[in-house]
């Protein structure tokens, strides 16, 4: 009996041990299975904190996208004239020749109808695609008022076609009013009888800093309700595609069709209107540009109220303060802009500005570039009195300036040495030229009247990078003499036809002549 009892105890003990082992094995299996299902299990506190931070950013993106997307619209510009299907279409010299590069792939149907012409290397391009047939251009916009006020780009709605606005919920409206300002590439579209619209909020672009997160929303390639993320990578950019530029630069993906859509901060506020990209391929390469919301707000308010934009002006010729000039003028490099001409009868003349003065502040805002001064002056309320701080002969002086509206005759005038009606602006080169006569040559200190005179150079443009400046005389283009703006245009057109890598210019100043190679990298894309 004792032996039997001991054997029974042993068997019971063994069974109990086996059950315990089974329980432990089962628990270990469940724990391993849970660890397999939760990839974040067993992380260090530091790693878990980092992931929580990333998830918080993701949550912010999701919240802002859901809030702003209902305000984003697609805008289509439909030509009124019928498309002539029998017209002769000349083959393009660009890669793909407009053919869908996705032909024969799963993406063929998605991108059917798009023009996929690829611009030459290094171009700035307005990212709105062509569509063949009667559909015209297509881009994006954003509702800023529930009454039906929509912001977009001028190049999206330009051309006089019928402007169609399609909201996120699929409704379509024909615009009742379209107001445009080509100088800033801003446009306002009004739609009537639209209910239950959701409006986005305009933010303060002056508070945007380099490194801030932003979202770009729109219709790239016609793909509605697309959101991309990035940061503000630069501010106050001038790239030579519009007359008035102060772009925000971002690496948020912007592609053809994004034009006119909003760039928003993490508060869901519009800080810019997406306008252009720098691209070798025609698509996003991480450098996009948006018109700042404060400039958009100023322009759009006037367009809605009067249908036009009134701008104040000084009436001076100006140039940047370079390092060499700074030493002579007793200021810091980029510590203002130097006055090169003061035109009689203008607000600048009445204020007492003189040639050689360095404008360092206008009103409450500091001035560092000609571009910045121009934008600040133009936004001064007509009739208001502003203080201009200048440095004259090394001493600080304050002048009183009364803002007057820029006249039509002065609108395209930059240094007063030519008839504004005869001036020709070459946006893709970043310069403006005008004819030269004996009086102009004398004013410039030159003994010849052959050539065309440079009357304006855009900051950051190919002309600026080549060292061209206002007052220089261009006498030859690619070894061919030029005497008029028409000669200059023809020579440039021939250069492009021959696909040369640069433009060889012979320029003359009072110090003599020299050759300059101008790299033409800027191009305005189709609307």
DSSP string over 23-69: HHHHHHHHHHHHHHH-TTTT--HHHHHHHHHHHHHHHHHHHHHHHHG
pLDDT of residue 267: 94
Q: Do 216 and 140 meet the contact criterion of CB atoms below 8 Å apart?
A: no
Nearest to 525 by CA among 99, 90, 118: 118
Structure token digits, residue 27: 């628990």
pLDDT of residue 334: 81
Q: What is the DSSP letter of 2?
A: H
pLDDT of residue 45: 83
Nearest to 317 by CA among 220, 440, 160, 208: 440
Distances (CA, A) of 228 to 94, 170, 251: 28, 21, 9
Nearest to 149 by CA among 165, 126, 170, 162: 165
pLDDT of residue 94: 33
Spans of the chain, pLDDT less than 50: 1-5, 8-15, 17-19, 21, 23-25, 28, 35, 81-123, 128-135, 412-421, 521-527
| Catalytic positions | 155, 185, 259
């Amino acid at each position: 009996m004792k032996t039997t009892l001991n054997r029974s105890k042993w068997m019971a003990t063994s069974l109990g041990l086996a059950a315990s082992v089974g329980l432990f094995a089962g628990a270990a299996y469940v724990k391993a299975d849970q660890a397999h299902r939760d990839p974040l299990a067993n992380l260090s506190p530091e790693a878990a904190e980092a992931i929580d931070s990333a998830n918080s950013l993701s949550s912010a993106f999701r919240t802002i996208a859901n809030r702003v997307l209902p305000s984003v619209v697609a805008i289509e510009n439909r030509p009124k004239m019928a498309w002539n299907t029998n017209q002769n279409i000349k083959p393009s010299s660009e890669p793909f020749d407009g053919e869908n590069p996705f032909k024969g792939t799963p993406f063929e149907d998605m991108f059917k109808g798009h023009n996929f012409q690829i611009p030459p290397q290094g171009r700035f391009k307005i990212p709105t695609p062509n569509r063949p047939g009667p559909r015209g251009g297509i881009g994006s916009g954003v509702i800023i008022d529930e009454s039906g006020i929509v912001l977009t780009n001028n190049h999206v709605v330009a051309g006089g076609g019928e402007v169609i606005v399609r909201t996120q919920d699929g409704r379509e409206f024909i615009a009742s009013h379209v107001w445009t300002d080509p100088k800033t590439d801003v446009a306002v579209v009004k739609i009537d009888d639209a209910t239950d619209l959701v409006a986005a909020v305009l933010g303060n672009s002056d508070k945007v800093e380099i490194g801030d997160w932003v979202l770009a929303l729109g219709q790239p390639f016609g793909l509605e309700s697309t959101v991309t993320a990035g940061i503000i990578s630069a501010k106050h950019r001038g790239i030579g595609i519009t007359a008035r530029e102060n772009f925000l630069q971002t690496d948020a993906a912007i592609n053809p069709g994004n034009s006119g859509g909003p760039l928003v901060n993490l508060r869901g506020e519009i800080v810019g209107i997406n306008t252009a990209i720098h691209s070798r391929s025609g698509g996003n390469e991480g450098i996009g540009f948006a018109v700042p919301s404060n400039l958009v707000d100023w322009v759009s308010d006037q367009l809605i109220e009067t249908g036009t934009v009134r701008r104040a002006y000084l009436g001076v010729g100006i140039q940047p303060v370079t390092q060499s000039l700074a030493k002579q003028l007793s200021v810091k490099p980029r510590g203002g802009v130097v006055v090169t001409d003061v035109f009689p009868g203008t607000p600048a003349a009445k204020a007492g500005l003189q040639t050689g003065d360095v404008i360092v502040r206008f009103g409450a805002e500091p001035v560092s570039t000609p571009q910045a001064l121009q934008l600040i002056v133009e936004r001064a309320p007509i009739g208001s009195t502003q203080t201009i701080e200048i440095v004259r002969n090394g001493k600080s002086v304050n002048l009183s300036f009364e803002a007057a509206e820029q006249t039509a005759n002065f609108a395209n005038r930059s240094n007063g040495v030519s008839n504004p009606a005869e001036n020709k602006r070459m946006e893709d080169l970043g310069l403006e030229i005008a004819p030269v006569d004996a009086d102009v040559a004398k004013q410039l200190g030159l003994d010849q009247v052959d050539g065309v005179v440079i009357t304006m150079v855009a900051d950051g443009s190919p002309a600026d990078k080549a060292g061209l400046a206002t007052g220089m005389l261009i006498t030859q283009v690619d070894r061919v003499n030029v005497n008029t703006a028409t000669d200059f245009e023809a020579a440039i057109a021939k250069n492009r036809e021959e696909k040369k890598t640069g433009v060889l210019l012979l320029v003359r100043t009072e110090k003599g002549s020299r050759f300059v190679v101008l790299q033409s990298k800027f191009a305005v894309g189709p609307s």
